[in-house]
Amino acid sequence: MEFKFSPYIAIQVKDYDKAVDFYKRVLGMEESEIKSNETYFLKDGINFCIEDNSGGYTFFEFKVDSVKKARKLLESEGCRVTQIYSEKSLMIADPYGMRFHIWEE
């Protein structure tokens, strides 16, 4: 099973408007897309998604050939699914405190 790192990092924030201003004004990130509760930024070749969500997690993203196979492997290693978006898109929590998104085309 190959996990290909996707250059997206999602950051959940509690004070969305202030966070968007901070990432833009202070850190110099460039807005690339704005949605109702998400703003996408680009900085040094990495895409950052700032989400209006009090969860406070930071997520990496990996593209896989098969979400079903990846899920089976990850669960056998102690990971758990935290959210199912579709058969081809899941949020995972590893046993060490990190969360990430896996998806397939």
* Mean pLDDT computed over 87-105: 94
From CA 4, how far away is CA 65, in angstroms rounded? 9
Give the range of the structural domain holding residue 96, as residue numbers without chain letter. 4-103
Number of domains in the chain: 1
Q: Is 62 exposed, middle or buried (0-12, 13-18, 19+ CB in 10 A)?
A: middle
CATH number of the domain at 53, please.
3.10.180.10
Q: pTM (2 decimals)?
A: 0.77
pLDDT one-digit tens code per residue, 37-81: 999 999 998 999 999 998 888 999 999 999 999 999 999 999 999
The secondary structure of 71-91 as a DSSP string is HHHHHHTT-EEEEEEETTEEE
Residue type, 27: L
